[in-house]
Chains A and B, each alone.
Chain A
């Protein structure tokens, strides 16, 4: 897929902006705090509806403006789509609305129309950081790919919140009510686990291949789905049965601890190098190389599954890497249809044909194609 137009209004430091990106590589070059990353953030929000930099939507509204509007047009396999995401100030904080081809739609119908794989410096902690980072990695990729996954995730989170509230606050817990939330958790959780199992299988294979190239075959990367609920076979019945049995087993301890302790909200993605846990034993360099391989795998798997290349967004990340790794990353991704990269200076590692944009104080000048 390919973004053909990006229009911003009241977004971050941009009052108004309109650009028409090219297929292939688009590079935003500029000093810090000029608005490079804001452009990638905006593009990502057209895909996921959410910022990869902040959980406070109000931060995306320009000082003095009432709303931030991100609009875009994209060419996709099925034709073209027109997307807009609006964050408006309201008495309750902010309100976010979405439009698809000119009509207002729910978030779940907006999500994933433009698929993006983002790679930002914070992702470099993916291998060594807490499990929540790796769950978020799985959720962002899977939610874009399967609208159903996102729906089940929302259902699961809601039931989990209700169950935790019931365990925490009720003086006597109504077993019938608890059973209703457990039923929801099992129904939604089964679909989540099944999707994660299949996805991790796919990225494990693609990640191993990418990693072998990065490490010149010296080390072997293994990625595995570390499901909190242990199941024998990856089919819905076996997973649901295992989850139910586990919930019964922990029922007493959940009441004692006043919290839901079992389920996919405690899943992890295990990463090992030649059989040794990367989180525990990997050097920083080894962890970074593994993350690069995972990101390549995410991109490759999303492209294979949807038969369409997602947009690749690299925010300030190539400059964090040495030249060899940066070059290997782009080579590993292979045929990207369109990529957006930010850099403080034109990176020497980039391929010859790239469209560059000079970003200075919220103004974007279209440079000449670097030859």
Chain B
């Protein structure tokens, strides 16, 4: 807890809320609060409303489990997108990374993390069962495993390929121009587009 004894109640409360956020320590939290105190009211109101809108209006897409305001999400709902290719990613933010590359015109499936027993995450904690059901239901031609090229990403891709390979679908993996141990998130658009283009069948 930050040293809140000397400042007024609402200030201390907001510092406390900010410091719960990832990468924000008590010092940064205090700086944010005092910054906001010096800004006009409408700016603070816009921030508060944006935060609430995220909570109230954004939910998981019931098909791909990406984040969306409408269910199904605009990508799942877009008939021009190729439903025969499904790109499997770990997090919703990876959808945005692949979309930025502009090189992919299929659909997505968001796992909600990567397999890592030491972090208490096994296949049951992820949307793996939903992926298998979806393949049975939609019968896609190809599934691209686009998890990060780090240890957890590789293990997850390997696990999924063993699981869905027997379902009669082509399973492919991103080709690596991506830095080993890197993050889809940080890969530039061209690298990511090349990795998608040069994907290899597992």
Residues on the B chain within 8 Å of A91, using CB: 23, 25
Closest to B26 in A: A91
Contact pick for A165, options B118, B123, B155, B181, CB 8 Å: B118
Closest to B180 in A: A151
Check if B117 sits within 8 Å of A169, measured CB to CB.
yes
Q: Does A180 contact B (CB under 8 A)?
A: yes
Contact with A along B7-40 (1 / 0, CB 8 A): 0000000000000000101000000000000000
Check if A162 sits within 8 Å of B159, measured CB to CB.
no
Closest to B118 in A: A165
Residues on the B chain within 8 Å of A106, using CB: 181
Q: With A158-B151, A159-B151 given, is the CB distance from A174 to B123 under 8 Å?
A: yes
Q: Does A98 contact B (CB under 8 A)?
A: no
Q: Does A184 contact B (CB under 8 A)?
A: yes
Q: Does B115 contact A (CB under 8 A)?
A: yes
Check if A181 sits within 8 Å of B123, measured CB to CB.
no
CA distance A91 to B23 in the complex (A): 7
Residues on the B chain within 8 Å of A343, using CB: none
Q: Does B177 contact A (CB under 8 A)?
A: no
How many A-B contacts at CB < 8 Å in the complex?
42
Check if A162 sits within 8 Å of B118, measured CB to CB.
yes
Check if B158 sits within 8 Å of A166, measured CB to CB.
no
Q: Does B198 contact A (CB under 8 A)?
A: no
Check if A176 sits within 8 Å of B118, measured CB to CB.
no
Q: With A91-B25, A176-B162, A176-B163 given, is the CB distance from A181 to B120 under 8 Å?
A: no
CA distance A31 to B61 in the complex (A): 69
A86-126, CB < 8 A from B: 91, 106
Check if A165 sits within 8 Å of B159, measured CB to CB.
no
Q: With A170-B122, A174-B123, A177-B123 given, is the CB distance from A162 to B116 under 8 Å?
A: yes
CB distance from A240 to the nearest CB of B (A): 17
A159-188, CB < 8 A from B: 159, 161-166, 169-170, 174, 176-177, 180-181, 183-184
Residues on the B chain within 8 Å of A176, using CB: 159, 162-163
Chain A interface main SS type: helix
CA distance A236 to B117 in the complex (A): 29
Check if B159 sits within 8 Å of A170, measured CB to CB.
no
Check if B123 sits within 8 Å of A184, measured CB to CB.
no
Check if B155 sits within 8 Å of A181, measured CB to CB.
yes
Residues on the A chain within 8 Å of B181, using CB: 106
CA distance A177 to B161 in the complex (A): 11
Residues on the B chain within 8 Å of A158, using CB: 151
Check if B115 sits within 8 Å of A177, measured CB to CB.
yes
CB distance from A61 to the nearest CB of B (A): 17
Q: With A155-B151, A176-B162, A184-B155 given, is the CB distance from A166 to B23 under 8 Å?
A: no
Residues on the A chain within 8 Å of B123, using CB: 174, 177
Residues on the B chain within 8 Å of A180, using CB: 155, 158-159, 162
Contact with B along A294-311 (1 / 0, CB 8 A): 000000000000000000
Contact with A along B101-145 (1 / 0, CB 8 A): 000000000000001111010110000000000000000000000
CA distance A166 to B163 in the complex (A): 18
Closest to B179 in A: A106
CA distance A355 to B29 in the complex (A): 52
CA distance A161 to B151 in the complex (A): 12
CA distance A318 to B113 in the complex (A): 53
Contact with A along B146-163 (1 / 0, CB 8 A): 000001000100110011
Contact pick for B155, options A162, A164, A169, A170, CB 8 Å: A162
CB distance from B166 to the nearest CB of A (A): 11
Check if B120 sits within 8 Å of A169, measured CB to CB.
yes
CB distance from A22 to the nearest CB of B (A): 40
Contact with B along A50-64 (1 / 0, CB 8 A): 000000000000000
Closest to A178 in B: B117
Q: With A177-B159, A180-B159 given, is the CB distance from A170 to B151 under 8 Å?
A: no
CB distance from A138 to the nearest CB of B (A): 23
CA distance A247 to B87 in the complex (A): 34
CB distance from B116 to the nearest CB of A (A): 7
CB distance from A271 to the nearest CB of B (A): 34
Closest to A158 in B: B151
Residues on the B chain within 8 Å of A166, using CB: 117, 122
Residues on the B chain within 8 Å of A177, using CB: 115, 117, 122-123, 155, 159
Kindly list 7 other residue pairs between chains A and B, CB separation below 8 angstroms, not including A161-B118, A169-B120, A181-B155.
A158-B151, A159-B151, A162-B116, A166-B117, A169-B117, A176-B163, A177-B122
What are the 5 tightest A-B residue pairs by CB atom distance, in nearest-first order? A165-B117, A165-B118, A166-B117, A91-B25, A158-B151
Report which A residues bind B (CB closer than 8 A).
91, 106, 155, 158-159, 161-166, 169-170, 174, 176-177, 180-181, 183-184
24 A-B pairs whose Cβ atoms sit less than 8 Å apart in the complex: A91-B23, A91-B25, A106-B181, A158-B151, A159-B151, A161-B118, A162-B116, A162-B117, A162-B118, A162-B151, A164-B118, A165-B118, A166-B122, A174-B122, A174-B123, A176-B159, A177-B115, A177-B122, A177-B123, A180-B155, A180-B158, A180-B159, A184-B151, A184-B155
